[in-house]
Amino acid sequence: MMSKKEQDQLEPKDLESMAEEIGEETEVLLQDDVSGLTDETERETDDAAESSGTPESEPGEKKTRPDFRKMFQTKNVRYGSYSAVMIAIVIVIAVVVNLIASVLPSGIQSVDLSSGKIYSIGKQTEKVLDKLDDPVTITVFSSKDAAEDSLVKLLQHYDDNKNVTVKYVDPALNPSVASQYSLSAGSVVVKCGTREQTIDSGDIYVSDYASYYSTGSASTTFDGEGQITSAIQYVTTADLPKMYTITGHGEQAVSSSVSSLISKQNVETEQLNLMTSGNIPEDCACLLINSPTSDYTHEEAEQIISYLDNGGKAIIIEYYSEEEQANFQSILNAYGLKTEDGIVMETANHFYQYPMYVIPQVASSDITQDFSSENVNILIPNALGLISTDAEGTTVTPLLQTSSGAYLKKVTDGQLSTMSKEDGDETDQFMLAALAGKEAEGSGELVVISSSSLIDDGVTQSFSLGNLDFFTACISYLTADDGVQRVSIDAKNMSADSITVSSFQSILWGAVLVILIPVAFLAAGFIIWLRRRRK
């Protein structure tokens, strides 16, 4: 530091120069401080920009526009883009699946959950449709909106076939078409070429008032599949087979329900008395001998055997008689069968406590192939025992048979002394229905059923059984033309099945729904609360 003397000796010019130097040094220091501060501020700003995803500005460039490229590289944008792509893929898959489903057959698009399967077609109908060669038109005399829902859904399955066309004609809008037929609304006309068959709506929806006075309600059955499939087979068949039923020996007449099933098979029926006719007509496709109560003459038996040996077909239903029927039995003996004396009692499969109500085993054959695969129950009361005689040149195929522990009980004066097995009772595995033929070329076939109760209304209408299905399957097999078998489909019950719950089940499920489930939820909630409280 200068002394006062030295300061006084300085010239004014020197003082001014010194002041300028001090000022310049101060300015440099200030500029350095400001520059350091600015650099620190810019570094903090850059760090903040990096952490917030804000694009960094280029040097010397104004921060007026963000960098969109870097904005789309953030984590949120990536996750959002992934979600959008996945949503788009799901939408595309849903659209494609719906487009594919719209062109699938009706049987695949929907599932028939009705107890009677009234909206579906069965195997018999599928076989008929698969063998169609000519176009078939099914016309419903109703608008599609006004038609019964069950009929519309059923016809969708027919319409899936390339040779079947389903049309709906509103009689109010097309009076000229409706005037050609005297049918009620909802009726159906099936046509192929020049052949056609009409189905009245009353035959499709059949009401039974038999139990009205006891139950206060009538049952309704839906016979759409049976009637329509039968009509298709009728219009596509030029010549219908004819079945002759033998009379004159106390034979039982078939019931109206059985006759209706035969008609639905498009098989014509006509009665035949062998004593007056003298021979069996050439147009006979099948003979039906239904439970004769008296014996045939030797000549009548020979006519039937000759007819069978020349390629004829027959169904024989036996009826128990204490009187010997030697000539009638000679027909069975000629084809390797013999009827044992007595009523069959079953030890393994029978109805509750009634051993004479046999539930037979269904043997595998061309006739019973549908029954053996579906495990359908058949009930045959008061059956006779059939056995094979192993006659040379004959073939016997069991259709229905008992277990090996079945036994026979003889009837005395129309009564059984007991149903229990006793010493001396014949024990064997008996056939209750059999298909018999001869090895000789050109010979026919014979189906023998050992009980008339198989097709008795008292049995078939009291239980849900396959008795009539088996009987019509025998007719279908014997009257088949060029491998095409006749079909007959039963009407389906439209009444809803009720669910019966016992008092014990009611208490059990009530306790589960009202007590156990709420307590389980409360316990789960308490455990979750307790665990969270301890953390």
Q: How confident is the model at residue 535 (pLDDT cuts 50, 70, 90)?
A: confident
Q: How far apart are CA 433 and CA 369, in angstroms?
A: 14
Q: Are residues 381 and 524 in the same domain?
A: no
| 464 located within any domain | yes
- Phi and psi, residue 107, nearest 5°: -65, -25
| 226 located within any domain | yes
- The model's pLDDT over 371-404, given as tens digits with 9 standing for 90+, comes to 655 567 899 999 999 999 999 999 999 999 999 9
Hey, is 388 helix, strand or coil?
strand
Q: Are residues 388 and 504 in the same domain?
A: no
Q: How confident is the model at residue 10 (pLDDT cuts 50, 70, 90)?
A: very low
Which tokens in the block code for residue 257? 């329900």
Minimum mean pLDDT range among 123-132, 225-234, 335-344: 123-132
State the pLDDT at residue 531.
87
Q: Are residues 119 and 219 in the same domain?
A: yes
| 511 located within any domain | yes
> In Å, how far are 359, 405, 408, 423 from 418, measured between CA atoms?
20, 17, 11, 12
State the pLDDT at residue 34.
45
For residue 304, what are the domain limits? 241-480
Which of 61, 80, 102 is where one domain is finished?
A: 102
| 39 located within any domain | no
Q: Are residues 384 and 308 in the same domain?
A: yes
The domain that holds 449 is classified in CATH as 3.40.50.880
User: Does residue 45 carry a pLDDT above 60?
Assistant: no
- The model's pLDDT over 454-474, given as tens digits with 9 standing for 90+, comes to 999 888 887 778 898 899 999
User: Does residue 37 carry a pLDDT above 50?
Assistant: no
Q: Are residues 278 and 377 in the same domain?
A: yes
Q: Are residues 510 and 431 in the same domain?
A: no
| 307 located within any domain | yes
User: Does residue 501 carry a pLDDT above 60?
Assistant: yes
| 26 located within any domain | no
Percent of residues, the chain, with pLDDT higher than 90: 35
How, if at all, do strands 431-438 and 492-493 pair? unpaired
End-to-end CA, the chain: 74
User: Does residue 99 carry a pLDDT above 50?
Assistant: yes
Mean pLDDT calculated for residue range 271-297: 92
Give how many domains the chain has, as a whole number: 4
- The model's pLDDT over 176-193, given as tens digits with 9 standing for 90+, comes to 776 777 777 888 999 998
Q: How confident is the model at residue 61 (pLDDT cuts 50, 70, 90)?
A: low
Q: Are residues 455 and 419 in the same domain?
A: yes
Q: Are residues 217 and 274 in the same domain?
A: no
State the pLDDT at residue 474.
93
| 172 located within any domain | yes
Which of 215, 239, 263 is where one domain is finished?
A: 239
pTM over 0.75: no
Q: Are residues 220 and 305 in the same domain?
A: no
**Average pLDDT score over the chain:** 81
Q: Are residues 181 and 317 in the same domain?
A: no
- Phi and psi, residue 197, nearest 5°: -140, 135
User: Does residue 259 carry a pLDDT above 80?
Assistant: yes
Angle between helices 224-235 and 149-159 (to 10 degrees): 40
The domain that holds 180 is classified in CATH as 3.40.30.10
Which of 189, 208, 239 is where one domain is finished?
A: 239
Q: Are residues 472 and 376 in the same domain?
A: yes
| 493 located within any domain | no
Q: How confident is the model at residue 503 (pLDDT cuts 50, 70, 90)?
A: confident
Q: Are residues 476 and 327 in the same domain?
A: yes
